[in-house]
Amino acid sequence: MSAGDGGKVVARNRKARHEYEILETYEAGIELRGPEVKSLRAGQVSFQDAFARVDGGEVWLHSLHISPYEQANRNNADPVRTRRLLLNRAEIRRLTAKTEERGLTLVPLDIHFRRGYAKLTLAVARGKKLHDKRETLKRRQQEREARRAMEKA
């Protein structure tokens, strides 16, 4: 995501692409309280163990840690509270159908700002096995070596 398409990436979940095979991505708004937006703009967010779940026709983001904003001590919410994701009904229906399939889950990939609004890139993903992770690392290493060889030639 670059400044060219209107989004400023605040934080990425780097482990997600290593741990999961990404099948589809969605962009969702996040329901935040005032000071949380300021903390996000400052990059004070951690994806440690964050995941999303469809409950009662709504999508909820669990375990995303947004640090309390120092200057707003009275209005700060719980840093790891459950936050609602804003998607349209058709997208929620599609996500519900996908997550009911065996082995698929919803994983947050990054948080960015688009036209002043905080957005979350949400992925429908399948967990990778250990041998898949090793295969990915091998392939990446081979691509890197091939690029170096081409630059030297």
Residue 149 included in any domain: no
The average pLDDT across 72-87 equals 81
pTM: 0.77
Tell me the pLDDT tens digit for each residue of 10-55.
Answer: 899 988 888 888 999 999 999 988 788 888 888 889 988 899 999 9
The whole domain housing 67 covers: 3-128
Nearest to 123 by CA among 57, 78, 61, 41: 61
Return the number of other C-beta atoms located less than 10 Å from residue 24's C-beta.
Answer: 12
CATH of the domain at 70: 2.40.280.10
What is the sign, positive or negative, of the torsion defined by CA atoms of 18, 21, 27, 33? negative
